Structure 1
Amino acid sequence: MESFGGIECFVRSAEGGSFAEAARHLSLTPAAVGKSVAKLESRLGVRLFQRSTRRLTLTEAGKLFLEEVSASLTTIQNAVANLANAEGRPVGKLKVSMGTVFGNRYVVPLLADFLNRFPDISPDWHFDNRQVDLIGQGFDAAIGGGFELPQGVVARKLAPAHRILVASADYLTKRRPVQEPEDLALCNGILIRSPQTGRVRSWQLTSRTREQRPLMLKPRMTMGDSEAACCACTQGLGIALVSMPMAVPFLERNQLQRVLPDWYVDDGNISLYYAQHKLLPGKTRAFVDFIIEQFARQQLAQRFSAV
């Protein structure tokens, strides 16, 4: 039977496209990973990779072998992890990606409760507003919206991803009433650039009756963060289109109010993403169930809905 370690080195190298990426995932040196893969190729009598100075490319034999072993490798790893649970409790490092402000505001406050319930899990939480490669970068789960759903990854809906227009009462009382989307063209806009592209997206407003109109705000300033845009709005500087999770605290403290409350942007869903396995690791299952439970208990889906 082939070495389990050699097969694991091969699979991680194929996923990451290099021995160096596999080494980071496996806590080995690139030389050790390359040597293990070479030994595997020698035993199998076939070349699995075409090697270049920049990247590994699977041969036809390598592609076939990867299809045969990758799913089984994950199942074996998960089975070993679950058997290693301390006294039947979920155990291990839990690597999760989430947005910076969203994570700090809605997930980190749950940490003490989570660890009281699952003391043998060690959180390794990454805060980033960019989409991660869930499988290739070794994440157990991710929370966010707008993720492309690659093969082998599932999404559990947590809440709608709605965006709303907000401003301070001070700004709104000093200008003509905003009664229709067309009135926004004369308002100072606090615009938000995409962290992925660096550009300001064009949005379509949707009414409660599903009518659609283009969003036209007069650009006054641009921000790279919804929280910063909300803070600028509290100073009476203009109107911003922000996500509901960012707006909720400002609305609940009466620092901001909705503009055109019958209109919003539907940006899909906030979801919990994790790899699809027949045998999900206990630590991942514990986290998934806990987050779904907490979102329901706090009624976050209702609080994040713009309708």
Structure 2
Amino acid sequence: METFNSIECFVRSAEVGSFAEAARRLSVTPAAVGKSVAKLEARMGVRLFQRSTRSLRLTEAGQLFLREVGSSFNTIQNAVANLASAGGQPAGTLKVSMGTAFGRLYVVPLLGEFLRRYPAINPDWHFDNRQVDLIGQGFDAAIGGGFELPQGVVARKLTVAHRVLVASTDYLQSHAAVTEPEDLSQHQGILIRSPQTGRVRSWQLTSRSREHRPLTLKTRMTMSDSEADCAAAAQGLGIGLVSMPIAVPFLESGALQRVLPDWYVDDGNISIYYAEHKLLPGKTRAFVDFIIEQFAAQGLAQRFSAV
């Protein structure tokens, strides 16, 4: 067991590049992690890390050892966790990242049913519109769209990620008509700034017949959140370009209506992401299967499609 603990300290330190961060995740002291790794190095007769006051880097031997034991260690650890689950049921802390508005509107309402099915799971949910380092930051899963797929992470599609043009009735009645994409150049735009880059992307509109046109809205203001964009558009301040899931409540209430309803922006997919393991932890498998089931049962993929 001591060797197993030492390997765990090594693997977690290698993943995050820090004894202190590994210690925080393992709920031990940094000194304990450093001591465990030192014992492992002494037992193996090789140095696994190059240490300095500012950095912790794997040696060549450390890189080789991590490749050999990393995935196998996670498989063993997940097997132990699954067997140790309460009464054979999925258990443990479930750390999940999701977009702020999307999570509040569509995932949090599922929490009650999820906990009724899996009472031994403790949700630790993080709401952020930025992509997280799923493995490096210790997340079990993430829900989002437009993310790069790092090595060791898999994605299950939940729905398409469409963006639509929206405005209030008052705005549309008091401004020039919009019947073609080119008409947008005469209108004030409420555009989304990327949380990752801080920039406003140049979008391309797609029609139901798959024709493409550039988006020519004048930038009146920018937001980093689609819900804030919708709230501004509902005040009659301009035409917003927002993600369809966030627009749905505003469209259904009549606070907003679609502009150019035959046109939309195709932004890929909204997916659920998780680390690829031969033996997925029971808590993660339960959550992934539950979310996919609920999306199908509630017809969310159809509600989120702009087509």
TM-score of the superposition, structure 1-length normalised?
0.98
Equivalence map 1:260-299=2 (5 Å): 260-299=260-299
Ranges of 4+ aligned residues in structure 1 off by more than 2 Å: none
Identity of aligned residues (%): 80
> 3-state SS of the aligned residue for 1:216?
coil
Structure-1 separation of matches of 2:182 and 2:192: 20
Aligned to 2:199: 199
The 1-side partners of 2:10 and 2:85 are apart by 27
Alignment of 1:156-175 (within 5 A): 156-175=156-175
Structure 1 Cα separation of the partners of residues 261 and 190 of structure 2: 18
Distance in structure 2 (CA, Å) of the matches to 1:216 and 1:30: 54
Give 2:40's aligned residue: 40
Quick one: distance in 1 between partners of 2:89 and 2:19?
34
| Post-superposition CA distance 1:197-222 (Å, at most 9, x none) | 11111111111121111111112122
SS in 2 for 1:135: coil
Residue of structure 2 equivalent to 1:231: 231
Deviation (angstroms), 1:224:
2.2
CA distance in structure 1 between the partners assigned to 2:24 and 2:270 by the alignment: 30
In structure 1, runs of 5+ residues without a counterpart are none
Contact 1:25 1:137 in 2 (8 A): no
Deviations 1:41-61 (A, max 9, x none): 011000111112222111111
Quick check: 2:190–2:240 contact (8 Å CA) kept in 1? Answer: yes
Tell me how far apart the structure 2 counterparts of residues 187 and 131 of structure 1 sit (CA, whole Å): 32
Offset at 1:113?
0.6
What is the CA–CA distance in structure 2 between the aligned matches of 1:44 and 1:210, rounded to whole Å? 60
The one-character-per-residue Cα deviations of 1:48-91 (angstroms, maximum 9, x if unpaired) are: 11112222111111111001100111011110111011112111
For residues 219 and 134 of structure 1, what CA distance do their matches in structure 2 show? 34
Counterpart for residue 107 of structure 1: 107
Match of residue 54 from structure 1: 54
Q: Which runs of 5+ in 2 are unaligned?
A: none
Aligned to 1:96: 96
Offset at residue 2 of structure 1 (A): 6.9
Q: Which amino acid in 2 is paired with 1:266? A: D
2:259 aligned partner: 259
2:145 maps to 1:145? yes
Q: What is the RMSD of the two structures over their aligned residues, measured on CA atoms? A: 1.1
Q: Kindly provide the amino acid, as one letter, of the partner of residue 185 in structure 1.
A: S
Q: Secondary structure at the match of 1:306?
A: coil
Distance 1:53 1:202 in 2: 43
Residue pair 1:9, 1:36 contacting (<8 A) in 2 also: yes
What TM-score comes out, normalization by structure 2 length? Answer: 0.98
